[in-house]
Structure 1
Amino acid sequence: MQSREEIERSLRGAALRVTAPRRAVLSAVHEHPHSDTETLIAATRERLGSVSHQAVYDVLRVLTDAGLVRRFQPAGSVARYEARVGDNHHHLVCRSCGTVSDVDCAVGQMPCLTAADDAGFEIHEAEVVYWGLCPACRTPSAGR
């Protein structure tokens, strides 16, 4: 969890004005990694009281554009946000409960995977989503 000072330092370091909504949303992303916007709106409202959906969406866009937040969207899922940026990690997604976990780069240096044919592209990043069942959903009592 980031302190208020660290959150403010991050915002200033990205050349963003420090505002209460930006502080609250960035704190919420740090406290609730891999959350969707509804979860982040609720967490932001706990901190600020009243804040509109649109204000949170706008702040998430600004934070994503500034590189302070990463937006990702597993197939068939809503967009999710995390504060782990600056590396090329991937995600594990449970097909049953939707839990998302980070997994470090598959192999080697960025972009982790080498395309069989890069079609002339200069590849900067590879995005991999591993799908399966989390430990809780694999237990016999989960009713597989």
Structure 2
Amino acid sequence: EAPPAQEGPAQCLQAGIFDDDASDTLRRALVLQFPEGSWKLDAITQPGRWMVYMGKFADNQALEKKRAELVARKLDHDRAGGTLEPGLSLGRFSSEEAATRELTQLVRQGVRSARVVQERPDKHGFVLRLPAATSALRAQLEALPAFGGKPLRACAS
């Protein structure tokens, strides 16, 4: 008699961030269709991000002029992105204090028009955690409309 087919070892997987509404919908679907203890939704806060920022510039010509000044001073920079365009980032930080310290250093190096801005606020939500996900459990989860096709990744320890 052949041994039963193995589906591979179970592994801890997680997905998210789900906002309040999405996590409520997902929780209801999981309670109905998944064994108790096979999943949990953990509340988390993804910290905001702060930037030392120059801009918004009137046009791309002004942006390129400022970029040339920064290159001449050998200062690292990149595009600010999103609603801060056209603008330049002189660094991104996990706290306002760290961004302010960097701005102080840049002012000592002759930078005059930069300021600290919040690039992204704190984001509160929920992470779905499957402590022992088998391939069958994963397939069942990925078929749930409430899951929303979020990518599953190995759990952070």
**Structure whose CA Rg is larger:** 2
Q: TM-score, normalised by structure 1?
A: 0.23
Q: Quick check: which one's strand share is greater?
A: 2
TM-score (norm 2): 0.21
Higher relative contact order (CA 8 A, sep 6+): 2
